[in-house]
Amino acid sequence: MRVRVNRERCQGHARCFALAPELFELDDLGNARERGGGIVAAAFEDKARLAQANCPELAIDVIET
């Protein structure tokens, strides 16, 4: 699984970072980007889906690989 933040959509709500800091980080403007190239370890797959579901801008893609 991978996650990807759509930088065009992200408005900096930071829910992704609050729910899954292992997968997301915030830049200087508070917008998210994926950590580690967006690769999701098996242990964090539920967190990836939770973050996706909680982004009000629908800015997070979860890609099953």
Among 5, 20, 23, 48, binds ligand F3S (CB under 6 A): 5
* Residues with Cβ within 8 Å of residue 1, at least 6 apart in sequence: 39, 40, 42, 45, 48, 62, 63, 64, 65
Among 32, 34, 38, 40, binds ligand F3S (CB under 6 A): 32
Q: Least distance from C-beta 22 to ligand F3S, angstroms?
A: 14
Q: Contact between 59 and ligand F3S (CB under 6 A)?
A: yes
Q: Least distance from C-beta 42 to ligand F3S, angstroms?
A: 22
